[in-house]
Structure 1
Amino acid sequence: MAEPSAFVTSVLTIMTPLGDVQPKRMFGGWGLFLEGNMFALINKGEELFLKADDENKDAFIAEGSGTHGKMPYYTAPAGALDSWKNMQSWAEGAVAASLRAKKK
């Protein structure tokens, strides 16, 4: 299996405060999982997309984030990858959206 790229590794480093985030190779990109729930994906172009639903998608839209096709994932807002402080609310919201989707 391919090793994560420098970009994937940097995203994992930023996400460390969430817990044991596991990358899994998927469709030429990577899925990011926390406790078995996929909350983010990194596409072949090394763009980070975070899980969204009715409770958090408006915040992504307000930031001008695009979607990953028809999937409920939005690009990480500008500056989110700069630090955990900038990423925290986005990542925690994505994890919460993944947990809500699991309950359905």
Structure 2
Amino acid sequence: MPDRTELEDLFRPFGPVAIKRMFGGHGIYADGLMFALEASGEVYLKVDAESLPRFEAENLPPFVYETKHGQKHSMSYHLLPAAAYDDDDVLKHWARLALEAAYRAAGAKAGKARPKTAAAKKAPAKKVPAKKAPPKKR
């Protein structure tokens, strides 16, 4: 499994990245957005509807994981092309596609979140004088 330094070296031609350990692998971030992940020694890049056809055209498989119940799930990440490990320009091209997909995903999430508006303040409750108890009989 590549370590943090190896992943930083791999993406150095693309620009500065932050590597965070997660789920037995690593999340790879640029500009605060996760655009790649490393799992089981493989690097996967973020895809979306716009970039997916390019990954499929290169027959780059999706990242698939198995749940503890044996179900398989794929995520919106596809394998980094092998040529990207040896060619800085290829790496930059594919990493840029992934970061653009991450930006679009972040923008879509921001658009879904409704801005919180301040609730209209209610007028303070009026103080009503307490009723006096009737005098006690002796």
SS at match of 2:48: coil
Residue equivalent to 1:90: 94
Instruction: Output one character per residue of 1:6-64: Cα deviation in whole Å (capped at 9) or x when no partner.
Output: 55533321312333200000100000001210000000x21000000111111111111
Q: What runs of 5+ residues in structure 2 fail to find an aligned partner?
A: 65-73, 109-138
In 1: Cα distance, 2:24 partner to 2:6 partner: 18
Q: Give the alignment's Cα RMSD to 1 decimal.
A: 1.5
- In the superposition, the TM-score normalised over structure 2's length comes to 0.66
Residue equivalent to 1:64: 59
Give the number of the structure whose residues are more often helix, by fraction: 1
Instruction: Output one character per residue of 1:64-96: Cα deviation in whole Å (capped at 9) or x when no partner.
Output: 111012210000112111131121110000000
2:23 equivalent among 24, 27, 30: 27
Q: State how many pairs are aligned.
A: 99
Equivalent pair of 2:14/2:91 in contact (CA under 8 Å): no
- The alignment-based identity, stated in percent, is 36
Structure with greater Cα Rg: 2
Q: What runs of 5+ residues in structure 1 fail to find an aligned partner?
A: none
Does residue 46 of structure 1 match 2:46?
no
In 2: Cα distance, 1:17 partner to 1:87 partner: 8
- In the superposition, the TM-score normalised over structure 1's length comes to 0.86
Equivalent pair of 2:29/2:35 in contact (CA under 8 Å): yes
Greater Cα offset, 16-25 or 28-37: 16-25
Larger relative contact order, structure 1 or 2 (CA cutoff 8 Å, min sep 6)? 1
Equivalent pair of 1:39/1:94 in contact (CA under 8 Å): yes
Equivalent pair of 1:8/1:42 in contact (CA under 8 Å): no
- 5 Å matches for 1:3-18? 6=2, 8-18=4-14
